Amino acid sequence: MREHTYTAPIKWMRGKGRITLQFGCCYNYAKGQNGILPGIMRNVQVDPMPPLLKDMIRRLVSWQILPKTCVPDSCIINIYDEGDCIPPHIDHNDFLRPFCTVSFLSDARILFGRNLKVLGPGEFLGSTAISLPRGSVLVLSGNGADEAKHCVPAVRSRRISITFRKMDPEKLPYQHRPDPDFNFI
C-alpha cells in the first residue's frame, strides 16, 4: 500500500484512533500544524479502488441507491475498536452529493444537528439520532449533508464503515486518472 492509504490509529484519548484506509484520494480532516487545510490532498497519492469496492459501487448504482450521475471514485474505510467514534463534522465540499456509508460488523448510531454538543470523549448530544444497523446503507444529500453536522458516538463493539464519495472534478488529485472500470454507465 502507498504510504497514505493506511493510517494507523493514534490512541491519544478515548474515542480517537480508528484505523482508516483511503482509496482514490487522500483527505485531510483538519487544519494541520503545517498549515495544510482540510480537503482533498491534491499532491498525495493513495491506492486505487480495489475490485471488491468497485463491485460494491456497481451494485449501489444498479440498485439506484446512488445515481449514475454521481458514481463514487473514492472511499474511506473506518475500522473502529470498542470506544472509537467520529466527532461532529460536515463532510467537505470537495466531495459531491450524495455520498453513502455502508455499516458492517455491529450496529451503531449516527447523530445529526446544527449544533452537536460534546459531552465527553466519544459522547455527543444531537437533535436527531438514527440507527445504523449492521449491513445498512445511509445516503446523505441536501441539508443532511450540507447543513447538519453528524457524528458517530463511541461504538460498543468492533465496527467497520465504508463511505463512498465522488470527488469534485475541480479538486481531483493531480495524478488522478479516471478508472476505466467505471465506464459502465
Q: Does residue 125 lie within any of the structural domains?
A: yes
Q: Which of 136, 160, 163 is nearest to 81 (CA)?
A: 160
Is 50 within the bounds of a domain?
yes
Task: Tell me which residue range forms the domain holding 47.
Answer: 6-182
CATH number at residue 124: 2.60.120.590
On whether residue 37 sits in a domain, the answer given is yes
CB atoms inside a 10 Å sphere around CB 148:
20
Please report which confidence band the pLDDT of residue 25 belongs to, taking 50, 70 and 90 as the band edges: very high
Overall number of domains in the chain:
1
Cell of 11: 490512541
Per the domain annotation, does 1 fall within a domain? Answer: no
- Lowest pLDDT segment from 27-31, 131-135, 156-160: 27-31
Q: Using an 8 Å Cβ cutoff, are 162 and 102 in contact? A: yes
Give the CA dihedral 11, 50, 88, 39, nearest 10 degrees: 100
- Per the structure block, which three cell numbers stand in for 59? 451494485
In the predicted model, is pLDDT for residue 33 greater than 90?
no
Indicate if the pLDDT at residue 17 is higher than 80: no
The average confidence (pLDDT) of the chain is 90
For the entire predicted model, the pTM comes to: 0.92
Amino acid identity, residue 86? I
In a domain, 153, yes or no: yes
Dist. CA 92–CA 9, nearest whole Å = 22
